[in-house]
Structure 1
């Protein structure tokens, strides 16, 4: 099920519980094993998987124990750099390109310069 704003809080909690239960089973962990790894009670794991309300710190511990803590980055992405910070990172923008030939030395296709009356 895709989570969206139209779902009730209870429905979202139940879906999160189902997903965490699948992750636990895929990791070959019992609820008691997960509870030990997460330093929470077995009842807390049962409550999470049943879609019950738990403290946020308990959910974080369970996510960490299942190696799913990085999924919170998707949920709450870090704010990117502000406009001033981006400008400071850029430094000066190059506006010209210098030529690779030395000054005063004509290029291979250049003809020597002469005065107009010497032609």
Structure 2
């Protein structure tokens, strides 16, 4: 594939993935012209923890979320959205409860109350 933006995520090692995330965070921090100290303080973490994140070292998911929030990057969480799926069995059950015919409130309903159904069409 010739698309430069295409990355083989599955082929990357865990360390490479962590480094990619760190580079993403660092890029957006620098784009906003913020120091590590300022972002770390706003996120409630130490500067050294932010430095570890930016270098692709091990940090907690909570730390990553705090930094993403401060950088206004929580939209990236859309990648983790699980689509709501309806099972075929549930769809079939819903189809069974659908009305397929409307009943008249006139003669037919009165006849059915007396035990007879009016079949005059």
TM-score (norm 2): 0.66
Q: Offset of 1:78 from its aligned partner?
A: 2.2
Q: Which residue is 2:18 aligned to?
A: 13
In the alignment, which residue of structure 2 is the partner of 1:33?
38
Aligned to 1:78: 82
The equivalent of 2:104 in structure 1 is: none
**What's the CA shift for 1:27?**
1.2
In terms of mean alpha carbon deviation, does 2-11 or 13-22 score higher?
2-11
Residues 20-49 of structure 1: per-residue CA shift (max 9 Å, x gap):
100001111110010011111101110000
> Within 5 A, what are the aligned runs for 1:30-109?
30-74=35-79, 76-83=80-87, 84=90, 92=98
Compared with structure 1, are the counterparts of its residues 3 and 13 closer, same or farther at alpha carbon in structure 2 (3 Å cutoff)? Answer: farther
Q: Is the alpha carbon distance of 1:92 and 1:32 closer, same or farther for their aligned partners in structure 2, counting shifts above 3 Å?
A: same
Provide structure 1 residue ranges, at least 5 long, that are not aligned to the other structure: 96-119
* C-alpha distance in 1 between matches for 2:54 and 2:91: 43
Structure with the higher fraction of residues in helix conformation: 2
Q: Give me the TM-score of the superposition, normalised by structure 1.
A: 0.67
User: How many residues are paired up?
Assistant: 94
Give me the CA root mean square deviation. 2.7
Distance 1:85 1:55, change over 3 A: farther
